Amino acid sequence: MNWMFPLLAKANKLILPSLTKKRIDLAKAARWQIWLIGYRYYVTSRALDYTQPKSIKN
């Protein structure tokens, strides 16, 4: 299961449009644009959780 989110993040980067490059205003964004931003945030944050090394407890 650890491999799923980094793979999805890479696929998102290749396939889905970048709304930040288009300077989309969140207050005026359509529902699908807000959903897309939320989805990309969720996947990216989970991918970072799985790829960063765990802290070592003493």
Cα–Cα dist 15/3, whole Å: 18
Model pTM score: 0.72
Which tens digit of pLDDT belongs to each residue from 10-50?
898 888 888 777 888 888 889 998 998 899 899 989 898 87
pLDDT of residue 58: 52
Contacts 24+ apart (CB under 8 A), 45-48: 46/5, 47/5, 47/6, 47/8, 47/9
